[in-house]
Structure 1
Amino acid sequence: MQTKRPQPEAMLFDLDGTLFQTETLLLPAYHATFEELREKGLFKGETPPEELILGALGMLLEHIWQRVMPEASMEARLQADKLLLHYQMEGLKQGEGVLYDGVAETLKALHAKGIRLFVASNGLEDYVKHVVQAKGIGELFEGLYSAGEYQTKSKVDLVKLLLETHNIQSAWMVGDRSSDVEAGLRNGLTVAACDYAGFREKGELEGAHIRIKSFDELLVYL
């Protein structure tokens, strides 16, 4: 049986693997990126397996490319950053990418309860802002915080900055990776771990106070 918890002043959400089904936008852009890298002579051989980038979601971009193409030059990695963002933006314009089931409805219900809503993502600023706007949930959020915009070195720092800027005393951190759990715990927040994306590795969600199998389950705990 679920234990209800006091309603927090705010909820902070990771984006990829929590609100947004990232692979529905990412994978077409990923393949297009490597096609162009090969054309530019910056990468040789087959496109690295999709599992490498899916397993790296939630990391900072520099760490993603170290994992996906460890032998590649810095020039290739920087170009990959730009190309991946470009192809994802193009995909959003064409209507690619979907939210997880129940995300829009649940966010509206939380907003209606008076809970302040924020995004805290390790992604690029343009990516985070465009995804949220393109999927029609932008007006529900008080702030969109990304490592790309604030140049934070970890999600712990990003969440700390968000809490201090908005003078938030009680909040939940909602996410699907160990970086989300760590960011919540180290900032004294209740951590709700999303156990439905499938990008995580074993043991990543240890320490979370709540585990949900679908996004709308959040409402059960309030």
Structure 2
Amino acid sequence: MIQSFIFDMDGTLFQTDRILELALDDTFEHLRSMGKWNSTTPIGKYREIMGVPLPIVWETLMPDHSKEERELTDAYFLKRLLENIRNGNGALYPDVKEVFTYLTENNCSIYIASNGLIDYLEAIVSYYHLDRWVTETFSIEQIDSMNKSHLVRSIVQKYGITNGAVVGDRLSDIHAARDNGLLAIGCNFDFAIEDELAQADVVIDDLIELKKIIRKES
């Protein structure tokens, strides 16, 4: 039986798209007001790379800007994200709390491993009281390599996980599972890409399906 579940946050537990466009539009409007951006907000490009660490996001979206300008943009974007979370503009995916309750009742431990920053993750966990079920939340900021496989490895080593699964919507989650000898459960949600999901061991269309996986494995 799977004893430990390591969840991605964005596009897996949290419906990031609810606040993404708001924060991104605010950020690029801010850049336009300072004469540092003269085009539309690159929401499409952001969606294509959703799930990568934020430094890579700004390198991709703003390749001609300086590192300092990208860092300032990152800080502004994070501020807007946090405001939207705390104002209740975001949402968890359906059945997150029901599934978390079911997992803990079946003696499964729950962790979060995300490419999101620490403050961002803490805002979501706090607003939705996820710490009622989640043992610990891990951010890519805690890993020098900014590699999700290494982040998951740190969880595996810290908690001695031998029978577990990584649940996520992007290829980095699938690789993180495979690289650490865990089951790769792909989420066919908003930001998922078919070719990436094809590499998962199991694909789900709703988190409630994890109940069936638990029952099957027991």
Aligned residues: 214
1:180 aligns with 2:173: yes
1:60, 1:123 within 8 Å by CA — same for their partners in 2? yes
2:188, 2:204 within 8 Å by CA — same for their partners in 1? yes
Over 3 Å counting, the alpha-carbon distance change for 1:130 and 1:48 in structure 2 is same
- Is the deviation greater in 67-76 or in 157-166? 67-76
The partner residue of 1:117 within 102, 110, 121 is 110
1:172, 1:184 within 8 Å by CA — same for their partners in 2? yes
> What is the percentage of aligned positions where both structures have the same residue?
32
1:62-95 CA distances to partner (integer Å, 9 max, x unpaired)? 1111222222221221011101110011112211
For residue 16 of structure 1, what is the aligned residue in structure 2? 10
1:69 aligns with 2:62: yes
For residue 3 of structure 1, what is the aligned residue in structure 2? none
Q: CA deviation at 1:112?
A: 1.2
1:25, 1:88 within 8 Å by CA — same for their partners in 2? yes
- Structure 1 segments unaligned to the other structure (5+ residues): 1-6
Q: Name the Cα RMSD after superposition.
A: 1.4
1:85, 1:127 within 8 Å by CA — same for their partners in 2? yes
Moved over 4 A (4+): none
**Distance in 2, Cα, partners of 1:202 & 1:72:** 32
- Structure 2 segments unaligned to the other structure (5+ residues): none
Q: CA deviation at 1:147?
A: 0.4
Matched residue of 2:203: which SS?
strand
1:208 aligns with 2:203: no
1:37, 1:76 within 8 Å by CA — same for their partners in 2? no
**Distance in 2, Cα, partners of 1:32 & 1:62:** 18
Q: TM-score, normalised by structure 1?
A: 0.91
1:48, 1:68 within 8 Å by CA — same for their partners in 2? no
1:119, 1:145 within 8 Å by CA — same for their partners in 2? yes
More helix by share: 2
Matched residue of 1:108: which SS?
helix
* Superposed counterparts of 1:3-152, under 5 Å: 7-41=1-35, 43-152=36-145
Matched residue of 1:99: which SS?
coil
Matched residue of 1:72: which SS?
coil
Matched residue of 2:137: which SS?
strand
Q: TM-score, normalised by structure 2?
A: 0.93
1:132-175 CA distances to partner (integer Å, 9 max, x unpaired)? 21122222100100102344421010000111011111110000
Matched residue of 1:21: which SS?
coil
